[in-house]
Structure 1
Amino acid sequence: MIKYILGLVITLAIIIVAVTIGANNDQIITFNYLIAKSELRLSTLVAVLFGIGLLLGWLITGFFYLKLKLQNMALNRRIKRQAQQINELTLPKAE
């Protein structure tokens, strides 16, 4: 429970910092990207790039977390199977 609250507090702090930085930059800039170019306020550009970075970070972290979870489940199944095999070999059979 504490880790969820801590995660929420950290996320809110990051969002507040991003909004504060973005709110103070009202300059209009020309942003050139591969296909075209557009004129945006600096605060909008900062917010969009921050959001894209945040989503990309969560996707990458989620991918590796899922990969480790699946690996952990497979190893736990393997341990149970091996423990069963050890019990079958060590316990005397009732005749």
Structure 2
Amino acid sequence: MIKFIFVFIILLAVVLVAVTVGANNDQVISFNYIVAQSELQLSTLVAILFGLGLILGWLISAFFYLKLKLKNISLNRQIKRQGKLISELNTDIAKAKQE
């Protein structure tokens, strides 16, 4: 439930930023990039760059989240293996004490 509220707040913030930027910036500017040049409204350019930044941030965050998730899985497997080894050693010690 918290996740849905968090996503809703983020989407609401993005929409508010887009509306605010789009309402005040109607100038046409020349945007030069490596292979070409475009005539865009300033509001469109800001919205595109904002969206690209948002997507890039999510991708970077997803990469690090996935990296941590895989490390967590690896460490849990290691804990299980060590737990089995400890229980085997405890049974061996108990058998040795009985003899």
Q: TM-score under structure 2 normalisation?
A: 0.85
Q: Which amino acid aligns with 2:87?
A: N
1:9-34 CA-to-partner distances (Å, cap 9, x unmatched) read 13321331233112210000000111
* 2:34 paired with 1:49: no
Q: Which is richer in helix?
A: 2
In the alignment, structure 2 segments of 5+ residues that lack a partner are none
Specify the SS of the correspondent of 1:52: helix
In the alignment, structure 1 segments of 5+ residues that lack a partner are none
Identity %: 66
Which position in structure 1 is the counterpart of 2:32? Answer: 32
Specify the SS of the correspondent of 2:84: helix
State the distance in 2 between where 1:4 and 1:76 align. 29
Larger radius of gyration: 2
Contact 1:19 1:47 in 2 (8 A): no
Provide the alpha-carbon RMSD of the alignment. Answer: 1.6
Specify the SS of the correspondent of 1:12: helix
Which position in structure 1 is the counterpart of 2:6? Answer: 6
Which position in structure 2 is the counterpart of 1:66? Answer: 66
1:48-72 CA-to-partner distances (Å, cap 9, x unmatched) read 1011111100000000000000000
Q: Could you list the runs of 4 or more consecutive aligned residues of structure 1 that deviate by over 2 angstroms after TM superposition? A: none
Moved more, 52-61 or 7-16: 7-16
The number of equivalent residue pairs is 94
